[in-house]
Every structure is written in C-alpha cells, then in structure tokens.
Amino acid sequence: MIVLSSVLEKIKNPRDLDNLNDKQLNELCCEIREHMLKVVADNGGHLASNLGVVELTVAIHRAFNSPDDSIIFDVGHQCYTHKLLTGRYDRFCSLRTENGISGFMKPSESEHDPIITGHSSSSVSAGYGICKGNALNGRSDYVVVVIGDGALTGGMVYEAFNSVGRDKCNLIIVLNDNGMSISRNVGALSRQLNLIRNKISYHRFKHMIENMVLKIPYVGDRLRGGLLRSKNMLKNAIYNSNIFEGLGLKYLGPVNGHDISQLTNIFEIAKNSNRPVVIHTITKKGKGYTYAENNPDVFHGISPFDIETGDKISVSQQDFSYIFGQEMCKIAKTDRKVCAITAAMTSGTGLNDFSRMYSTRFFDVGIAEEHAVTFAAGLAKTGQKPVFAVYSSFLQRGYDQVLHDVAIANLPVTLCVDRAGIVGEDGETHQGLFDVAFLSTIPNVKIYAPSNYNELRAMLCERLSNPVGVAAIRYPRGSEPEYIKDFEYSGNAFDIIGGSDIAVVVYGTMFAEVAKAADILKESGKVISIIKLNLINEFSDELLNQVLKYKKVYFFEEGIINGGIAQQLGSKLLHNSFKGKYKLMGVNGFVQQASISSVRKRYGLDVFSIVDLISGEWQ
C-alpha cells in the first residue's frame, strides 16, 4: 500500500503552493503521481496524459491565481493534478464513480473549473471569450489554456487563433507537446538563443531598449520598426518561424515541461507580454510510471489495472470495436474499394490491424470529425467505399457535414458509430445518446442497430456489398450480451418474436434486456411479443400495420427521448389512429457518470424495471 507524506494532504487550495521550496515541490509531484496512479488503478481513467502534466500544472498554479485567473484544460482529461490542487484531494478517490468527481473539468464541481471540457480543440475559443468578457467587466485577469499537440489537429483551434491573433488580451496558451514537433530547432546556436529568450531579464532588457528608442525625437517609431524587421529576419532565418507567430501570437519556447523553475520563469515572461502568448512545453506522456511511458496509448484511457504489472484486472478479448475492426479487415481483403477513416482513434475504434494491413486505404485525419465526414464524401464520389469509424459523442461535431456534404448528394458513406448508447464513467460529454435523434432528422440516412457480434458482422457485410446512400451502423461500448449472443440476423428491417396482444419494441443491445424480461414474465404466465428493429428509422407500412394490431405497446430505447425512434414511432401510430396504449421509456437530459447498469436502472431500462413496469400494468 502506498503511504503518502504530508505535502499533498496539506494542499487545500493553490495558494498553499506559494511557500513550498524546491525540495517540497518535487516531493509534491511524486506524491501526486503516486496518488493518481492508485486511484486510476482502482477506478480506471486517463492516466498517461495526467502523469505527463504534473509539474506543468503545479507551475501554472504557482504562477497564476485561480479562480480569478481562469485555467482551462483541453481536452479536459489531463486535469487530475488540477483537481488535487484545488481542494478535491479528499474526494479524489471517487473519481469517475457515481456521485463522485468527474474525470473532466466541471464548473458545478468547483469554482476552479471555468468551463466543461470533454471534447477537443474548443479551449482557445472559450478562453478568448472569457478574456473578452473580463475586459468588458473591467477586469484584467489572465486566462491560461493548456492544450495538447493532438488538439491542434482540430480546425476550431485555428478559427480561434484567427480572432486571437488580431487582439491584445491576457490569453496565455500552453502547448503541451508530448509527441508532435511544432517548431524547427537547428543546432547549438538555436539552443543557446532559446536559453537567452527564455530568461525574464532578456525580455525586460528588450522592452527597455524599445522604450528608449521610441523616445528618440522624430525617428523613434521608424527606428524601432527597422530594429523589429531586422530581428524578425534573423529569427526567421534561425527558427524558420512558426504558425503561431504567423497568426500574430507571441511564441515562447520550447521549454522543459517537467522543470518547475523554468516553467515559472517563462510564465512570468508571458504575463508581462501584454498580448496573446503561446508557450511551447515539452513533456513526456506517462512520466513516472514505466508501463505508461512505454505504452502511452494503452494507458491513455484505461480500465482498472494492477499497478505492479500494468495488466488490466478484467481483460475482455473481444468487444464490438474489435469485432468491427476484424470484419473490416476481412471485407477489405477481397474488396479493394473499402477504405477506413478515423479521427485520432485508431485503437479506440478497433482499426489497428486495418491500419497496418491496408495502410494505403487507412486515413487518420486527427481530431477533425467535420473534415473526416467531408473527406469521406470526396472518397465516395470517386467510387471508393469509405467507412468512418467514430464515437457517437464525437460524431455530433460532424452533423452539418453529414447533412450538407453527404446526405443531400446521397453519397455512399458509411458511419460506424462506436460507443453508442450509455457509455458510463466518462459522463455527460461522452454518452452516446444523441446520434439516433440527430441522424434520423436527416433525409437519406439509414440507421442499423446490431444487438450482438453476429449482427454487426452481417450488417457491415450487407452494407458494404452494395452501399447506396448514407448509412450509420451503431453499436455500444464493451462486449455483446451473453443472453443473445447466438441470435442470428434475419436480414429483415424488423423481426417479431413471440405472439401476444402486448408488444415491446426495442433495438440494439437493449434487445437482451427485453428478451430476459420476456422470459421472466413468461414464467408467471405473462406472454409478450418483441418487435426488434434492425433498420431502426425505416417505418414501413408493413411495420406500422403490425404495430397497430396490439392493444399495448411499450418502447424501451437507450437514447434521448426527444427526437428518438420511440417518439417518432409514437407519432406515426397517432397519425394512423392507433387505439391502444403506447408507452415509451428512454433517457431525459444529460447523464452523469455512473456504471452502465446503474444508469439503465435509473431510467427504467434494466430487465427488472421492464418486468415491474409490464407486470404492474398487466390486465
């Protein structure tokens, strides 16, 4: 068992850092890593990214005054140290558990979390907005944005840079670079100039000289301009400049992201710049834990694991993502038109093998879902068969592109929507509850919902054998339900199982809950019919005529009620003068972190809630 010393336990707010000496700061960073490691090993979470920003976060809180100064982490999964330093040490063991603290920034949890951050590349826009709002309120507080190099692949960042670069505001953007090189640094001269440029004395001297030049009568402005042009010519020759300076932001760095003294020094330089600044820090993902350093992708987001071995405690050999990836490889072997696209989620979407075996037909576009959808449209236009594998909550960003760039032209693009339905411990920002509602509003989009691995394989093969128009195949996080793992896909848009005047309509893996409930009800003499939707948003006359025959119809949907399939079917039945009773059960509002089973129970979607509801209304 890890025994902590007293430094971390005494940090109740960021100002408690002010009186720590260098030795105590190093001890604190070690304790943070140990505590973080223990909690994530128990609860799961984002480990490698958080281990990499410990010193960086400590230095930020030493240099700035949160919550007056706003600190924003993008994507937000790298905020664990921030939580430990802002009064949440005592609750940190509840990380990502029901009624516990979130794995992301959350304003309702702490005044030190200015905004919700769960999706990437939005931090600069939000930070700039806070800056301008502060100015309108007569305040001059700093806004610090910590953004990873991966988030720079998101186009929203550059939209924000385009605005920020034309302004003068107290926005400081900390680029946490743990893998991608941004600036080109050449030789010993470059390194020496960086050492000089990163000293606060240098910047004070530079400002003093500029002010002296400006005071020279008549020629001050022109002389200062000439000096600046000469300096920039020299700097561009040595550094080859960079995109940030081209956009009008001041660039500082690179600086060692694990050296608190260097970081504190450069933050002071940035605070005295009187303009937006980008500070380029170099960090090591997974720092301090060998397994995470060697395999940062594996330990990016990880389920509970054994600290001593680095092995996951419960290892599932297969899940829906894995089955999808394997089937894609199988199909691509004989169909050279099949292409796979991912938005920086090769491993998460099960495409590791495809990326190696068919590298010329694999495209990782970075954190750029909008681009991915329109890129897929371009591929489809040339006769290719593009498959965009994307998490449900991330596809939300591509809604306009699905509608405008794909559906209007009815291009054969396939969206494989991973993590559909209730996701669990990542909370509101990652639940896959909205894709059905927003995709079903778009004409020409067909939505398939496999309930097990067999159906996923069959639906993917069926779709790619003759892709016409836009289609989405949505499947959940995790493994197939044991109860229905042998159920075979009929190839029909819907199936009716059993015979009764009471029907339960369902799709996807909720079919397992309803099938179990049906067997329990049957034991007490209550027989129901199950209408299982496979192509879930196609309400044919045949389907409607079948449903209209029942006296009672229940619809259990693991998705948002407003705009969901249950609501749409209910509207169709109403317009067709349905005389029976219709009841739908689904999700209302945003869903906080909790286990999938707990969330299902909360919304009446688990097997026992289904049994209780139908039994209670049985006549």
pLDDT digits (tens, 9 = 90+) for 137-153: 999 999 999 998 888 88
Q: Which residue(s) pair with 176 in the sheet? A: 148, 281
More confident of the two residues 408 and 230: 408
Residue 569 host element (H or E)? helix 565-575
More confident of the two residues 185 and 314: 314
d(CA 285, CA 287) in angstroms, rounded, equals 6
Q: Are 86 and 13 in contact (CB under 8 A)?
A: yes
Instruction: Please check the confidence at residue 211 and state whether its pLDDT lies above 90.
Output: no
Of the candidates 409, 468, 421, 444, the one whose C-alpha atom is nearest the C-alpha of residue 538 is 444
User: What per-residue confidence (pLDDT) applies to 75?
Assistant: 85
d(CA 18, CA 425) in angstroms, rounded, equals 34
Instruction: Please check the confidence at residue 210 and state whether its pLDDT lies above 70.
Output: no
Q: Read off the pLDDT of each residue in 299-308 and give the average, rounded to a whole number.
A: 91
Residue 453 host element (H or E)? helix 453-465
| Residue 392 C-alpha from the chain's centroid | 10
- Please compute Rg for the chain using Cα positions: 28
d(CA 245, CA 563) in angstroms, rounded, equals 46
Instruction: Please check the confidence at residue 1 and state whether its pLDDT lies above 50.
Output: no
User: What per-residue confidence (pLDDT) applies to 206?
Assistant: 56
Beta strands in 194-305, from DSSP E residues, in sequence order: 250-256, 277-282
Picking from 53-62, 298-307, 580-589, 602-611, which range would have the lowest pLDDT averaged per residue?
298-307
Instruction: Please check the confidence at residue 305 and state whether its pLDDT lies above 70.
Output: yes
Q: Read off the pLDDT of each residue in 197-224 and give the average, rounded to a whole number.
A: 57
User: What per-residue confidence (pLDDT) applies to 274?
Assistant: 87
Of the candidates 82, 16, 18, the one whose C-alpha atom is nearest the C-alpha of residue 55 is 82
Residue type for position 177: D
Q: Read off the pLDDT of each residue in 509-528 and give the average, rounded to a whole number.
A: 97
Instruction: Please check the confidence at residue 605 and state whether its pLDDT lies above 60.
Output: yes
Q: Is 410 left (phi over 0), alpha (psi -120 to 50) or beta?
A: left
Q: Which residue(s) pair with 581 in the sheet? A: 552
| Residue 104 C-alpha from the chain's centroid | 10
What is the band of 553 on the pLDDT scale with cuts at 50, 70, 90? very high
Q: Read off the pLDDT of each residue in 559-568 and give the average, rounded to a whole number.
A: 97
d(CA 442, CA 404) in angstroms, rounded, equals 10
User: What per-residue confidence (pLDDT) applies to 238?
Assistant: 43
Of the candidates 102, 47, 592, 548, the one whose C-alpha atom is nearest the C-alpha of residue 291 is 47
d(CA 175, CA 280) in angstroms, rounded, equals 5
Q: Are 173 and 277 in contact (CB under 8 A)?
A: yes
What is the band of 225 on the pLDDT scale with cuts at 50, 70, 90? low
User: What per-residue confidence (pLDDT) applies to 165?
Assistant: 87
Instruction: Please check the confidence at residue 345 and state whether its pLDDT lies above 50.
Output: yes
Picking from 121-130, 222-231, 310-319, which range would have the lowest pLDDT averaged per residue?
222-231
The fraction of the chain above a pLDDT of 70, given in percent, is: 88
Instruction: Please check the confidence at residue 233 and state whether its pLDDT lies above 80.
Output: no
Q: Read off the pLDDT of each residue in 398-420 and give the average, rounded to a whole number.
A: 98
Q: How many other C-beta atoms are found inside a 10 Å radius of the C-beta of residue 555? A: 26
Q: Residue 613: is it exposed, middle or buried by C-beta count within 10 angstroms (0-12/13-18/19+)?
A: middle
Q: Are 517 and 552 in contact (CB under 8 A)?
A: no
More confident of the two residues 606 and 315: 606
Structure tokens at 167: 């302004």
User: What per-residue confidence (pLDDT) applies to 612?
Assistant: 96
User: What per-residue confidence (pLDDT) applies to 153?
Assistant: 86
Q: CB under 8 Å to 190, separation ≥6 — which residues?
A: 238, 239
Give pLDDT tens digits for 156-172.
999 999 999 878 899 99
User: What per-residue confidence (pLDDT) applies to 186?
Assistant: 34
Q: CB under 8 Å to 230, separation ≥6 — which residues?
A: none
Name the pTM for this structure.
0.87
Beta strands in 233-312, from DSSP E residues, in sequence order: 250-256, 277-282
Residue 222 host element (H or E)? helix 220-239
User: What per-residue confidence (pLDDT) applies to 301?
Assistant: 87
User: What per-residue confidence (pLDDT) applies to 226?
Assistant: 56
Whole-Å CA distances, 497 to 126, 161, 305, 444, 530: 51, 56, 41, 29, 5
Q: Residue 477: is it exposed, middle or buried by C-beta count within 10 angstroms (0-12/13-18/19+)?
A: buried
Of the candidates 79, 166, 73, the one whose C-alpha atom is nearest the C-alpha of residue 122 is 73
DSSP-assigned states of every residue in 439-482: HTTSTTEEEE--SSHHHHHHHHHHHHHS--SEEEEE--SSPPPG
Average per-residue pLDDT in the chain? 90
| Residue 102 C-alpha from the chain's centroid | 14
Of the candidates 44, 39, 37, the one whose C-alpha atom is nearest the C-alpha of residue 478 is 44
User: What per-residue confidence (pLDDT) applies to 151?
Assistant: 87
Of the candidates 15, 17, 21, the one whose C-alpha atom is nearest the C-alpha of residue 32 is 17
Picking from 299-303, 458-462, 557-561, which range would have the lowest pLDDT averaged per residue?
299-303
The fraction of the chain above a pLDDT of 90, given in percent, is: 80
User: What per-residue confidence (pLDDT) applies to 108?
Assistant: 94
Instruction: Please check the confidence at residue 227 and state whether its pLDDT lies above 60.
Output: no
d(CA 151, CA 604) in angstroms, rounded, equals 38
**Active site residues per annotation:** 285, 369, 397
